[in-house]
A and B are shown apart, each in its own frame.
Chain A
Amino acid sequence: MPETITERGRGPGAEPGPRSRTGAGTAEDAPQATAAFEAKIAADERIEPRDWMPDAYRATLVRQIAQHAHSEIIGMQPEANWLTRAPSLRRKAILLAKVQDEAGHGLYLYSAAETLGTGRDELLDKLHAGRQKYSSIFNYPTLTWADVGAIGWLVDGAAIINQVPLCRCSYGPYARAMVRICKEESFHQRQGYELLHTLAHGTPGQRAMAQDAVDRWWWPSLMMFGPPDDESAHSAQSMAWKIKRHSNDELRQRFVDICVPQAEILGLTLPDPDLRWNEERGQHDFGAIDWTEFKEVLRGNGPCNEQRIGRRRQAHEDGAWVRDAAAAYAAKRARAAESAEAAA
């Protein structure tokens, strides 16, 4: 019953106007609409673009999906750094396919964000102006070829743990984007693991390269799950809205428990002297994360923050004349089509 109120009151055709405003919360219908929204969330139904939703729910999703999209495109940089130096043609092809997928993931996610009434251009402007964030992990440099493998195994691995629950996120377009993205991410993750496995079982030089990469990427990967639960500003609300399904610390623990046996198979160590199996908990204990470093990176003071955003801005500025040309050409074609129609 609450759903029919939503449909009738705010559904398609009920309120003409730009798509961006459908479903916006207003004061007078708030109580009924809120009840309908909450009933849907409680019933594990999906919220769709034309449904009414609280402004704060919309804003949280825009922030999260945009940040996710930005992470995909900024995340192309550390890996593309090794594209021109990949040591075999097979590895080069795999890496090229991967960065191409990441651009595609960025596109899906910008589309998902656009269903909430924002535009890709607007989001990119915010990224370039530093008003929207991307994942802290991409502010670390790729210093050797093994870093490409460590990113595949650990960074993509952490991303998958974070993202699989998002396939059940309450917002339909986001959940559906995540289903597609997770399939491709798992593939990348296995390829990264295999790359690292090859190095770890290769020459002494390759093995040392692999261990060094894991040493440098392990802690930043653990930080990808966000601040500890008692310091996570958005967590409680996001979980209530079923945007998030598990807490940061829960997911981080799951990641550690998955990685430990994988590291053993690789024959590599994880750089944490406090890491050990806790029989009582049935989980691994692990050392303290350097949250000062995490905050510094988020504040823009990580090793590559300036470089990453600078590159993105540069690409955007350098490409302005190309986008202008495409728009001018499209306008000319449209005018030509119009006058052809008029003449007919």
Chain B
Amino acid sequence: MSTAQDPATAAPAPLDPAAAAGALALGDDALVLSHRLAEWTGHAPVLEEEVALANIALDLLGQARTLLSLVGDEDELAFLREERAFRNVQLVEQPNGDFAHTIARQLYFSVYQELLYGQLAAAGEPSPLAPLAAKAVKEVAYHRDHAEQWTLRLGDGTETSHARMRAGLDALWRFTGELFRPIGGLAVDWAGLEAAWLAAVGGVLERATLGLPEGPRGTGWSAGAGREGVHTEPFGRMLAEMQHLHRSHPGASW
């Protein structure tokens, strides 16, 4: 997947601690969401979605590997950290639910990632994550398009699909506030990011005959918690499954 010529993986200069914390947060986001999407394999509603969801999962896993490798050993970071040491937002760790729930999570997150990587890529050289962002933003634009197309189909499809899409969007809404909590070390205009995100998601949902959910976008408990290592209950179980084999054979290489 990545090659020696790939600017995203070419011998990176060591990151300063603040930038490393930023890379870890974004790497964990991609790693965890990739894992959730991989859980769809063999369960998708049509074969084309088996391909699409695995494809997106693979892109995200590639991003995670690049980001985690900037911080340390990718496998040590993925398989030997405990729940409280993960820095991903709670949104990405939420269980898949039905297809609409998964698509709602994809819409919220891929729009966020596209805008965020867009800003990081535009920051250019001073940002150590700029090369990765420049590559990833192309992948993420595809993920966003996929989520957007399905949001339109489900929202403006049948009564059932409309209701399910509505339910998915509403259930995940409270996890979206956390996305815009500034991550130290990343040169991002967070307020601008949030405004752009609301406009983009709102635009898609309007076309999908849905509209933005009502209600809070994050309580005092949940907002920012994932970035500090405080997660939701399903996350520990996900990690148990993900890590058990690696942990069962200490020191082995695979």
Contacts and interface: CB of A to CB of B under 8 A. Distances in A.
Given A203-B249, A206-B249, A89 B57 contact: no
Interface string B57-76: 11001101100100000110
Contact of A83 (B1, B38, B62): B38
Contacts of A199: 254
A320 B98 CA distance: 12
A332 B41 CA distance: 30
Contacts of A107: 47-48, 51
A77 B44 CA distance: 12
23 contacts: A80-B41, A83-B41, A84-B39, A85-B241, A85-B245, A87-B252, A88-B253, A92-B38, A93-B65, A96-B38, A97-B54, A99-B41, A99-B54, A110-B47, A145-B245, A315-B44, A318-B45, A320-B45, A321-B158, A321-B161, A321-B164, A325-B161, A326-B153
Given A198-B254, A319-B44, A325 B58 contact: no
A80 B244 contact: no
Interface of A: 73, 76-77, 80, 83-93, 96-97, 99-100, 103-104, 106-107, 110, 145, 195, 198-199, 202-203, 205-206, 311, 314-316, 318-330, 332
Contact of B242 (A84, A314, A326): A84
B51 A100 contact: yes
Nearest to A319: B45
Contacts of B31: 89
Contacts of A73: 47, 50
Main secondary structure of the interface of B (DSSP, over half): helix
B42 A100 contact: no
Specify which of B41, B62, B158, B253 lies most central, judged by the most chain A CB atoms within 10 Å of its CB: B41
Given A86-B245, A315-B43, 17 more contacts: A73-B50, A84-B35, A89-B61, A96-B61, A97-B58, A99-B50, A107-B47, A195-B254, A205-B252, A206-B249, A315-B44, A319-B99, A322-B46, A322-B99, A324-B161, A325-B160, A326-B157
Given A87-B246, A93-B65, A328 B50 contact: no
A89 to B, nearest CB: 5
Contacts of B39: 83-84
Contacts of B64: 89
B196 to A, nearest CB: 27
A252 B173 CA distance: 57
B142 to A, nearest CB: 14
B252 to A, nearest CB: 5
B200 interface: no
A93 B62 contact: yes
A199 B38 CA distance: 24
A151 to B, nearest CB: 15
- The 8 A-B residue pairs with the shortest CB-CB distance, nearest first, are A319-B45, A325-B157, A325-B161, A100-B54, A322-B45, A103-B50, A80-B41, A329-B153
A96 B156 contact: no
Contacts of A89: 31, 61, 64-65, 68, 74-75, 78
Interface of B: 1, 31, 35, 38-39, 41-51, 54-55, 57-58, 61-62, 64-65, 68, 74-75, 78-79, 98-99, 152-154, 156-158, 160-161, 164, 241-242, 244-246, 249, 251-254
A100 B46 contact: no
B125 to A, nearest CB: 28
A92 B34 CA distance: 10
A320 to B, nearest CB: 8
B55 A100 contact: yes
Given A93-B65, A311-B42, A85 B153 contact: no
A86 B57 CA distance: 14
A68 to B, nearest CB: 14
Contacts of B99: 319, 322
Contacts of B153: 325-326, 329-330
Contacts of A198: 253-254
Contacts of B46: 319, 322-323
B217 to A, nearest CB: 27
Contacts of B44: 315, 319
Nearest to A69: B47
A196 to B, nearest CB: 11
B59 to A, nearest CB: 10
